[in-house]
Amino acid sequence: MKLNGRVAVITGASTGIGAACARELSRRGAKVVLAARSAENLAVVADETGGIAIAGDITDAAVQRQVLDTAVARFGRVDILINNAGVGVYSPSHSGSMADIRQMFELNLFAALALVQLAAPGMKQQRDGMIVNISSIAGLAPLPWFTMYSATKYAVCAMTDGQRMELARYNVRTMAVCPGYVRTGFSTNVLAGKPPEKLWRNRRFAITAEECARATADGIEREKRTVVTPKAGWALVWARLVAPRIVDHYLRNIYEGLDEAGG
């Protein structure tokens, strides 16, 4: 799918991966409709990309409808939906706040599903489109400091794979993007807890939001099923398949020392 002239809706577009995707798709000729809670930050990205900004809580059904309706009213169609908005919880699954975990599922999974349900009818009618769900490497290999976040992202990957089969007859494609550690403000904006110290020390292996956005845009153009970025992340995925005990031991070592009460 060539991006030039396409209409893309991007959630969580005020900062981080979402903002970088807006800039990258715009640079490749796409028209972007941007959604996020921060009106101020969103306005900056919209100004940079020539996009349309819609500020609001994307878990709100009225905001979800407004985003899709605005895109169709302005451009007549939606070609690409990028479900990027998300949040994390570092609390252990066996003791974390159920309210935090439910809130995380509401944003990471149910809001994304609701937007797919709003975008799919138009894509089916035009018999063309692509749904991009931003998951995580945690959606392919569970991380013990991020257990329930991993659960949301596993669900996102499963949803993406199932929707690919559901919508194939309408020429609507789906793609999951599974980044590793990305240098954004994500870790400081989690609902609860903090990452292990050993994880912070491994930040030298992180990629930038711009690198993730380029991999996402390339994946759309090549109509990939799954994008793992950086590609070295595939090593963890495959290692877990062939040597799960070794990978579990490695991840437990990273998890060691994390204050359970603090996340």
Which residues participate in catalysis according to the annotation?
149
DSSP state of 107: I
**How far is Cα 144 from Cα 148, in angstroms, rounded to an integer?**
9
- The 3-class secondary structure across 7-41, one letter per residue, is EEEEECCCCHHHHHHHHHHHHCCCEEEEEECCHHH
Q: Are strands 7-11 and 31-36 parallel, antiparallel or unpaired?
A: parallel
**How far is Cα 34 from Cα 22, in angstroms, rounded to an integer?**
8
Total number of residues shown for the chain: 263
Return the number of other C-beta atoms located less than 10 Å from residue 51's C-beta.
23
Half-sphere exposure for 186 (CA within 13 Å, toward CB):
27
- Which are the contacts of 94, defined by CB distance < 8 A and separation ≥ 6? none
**How far is Cα 105 from Cα 155, in angstroms, rounded to an integer?**
10
Q: Would you say 140 and 237 are in contact if contact means Cβ atoms under 8 Å apart? A: yes
**How far is Cα 34 from Cα 39, in angstroms, rounded to an integer?**
10
Residue 136, both tokens: 């995580």
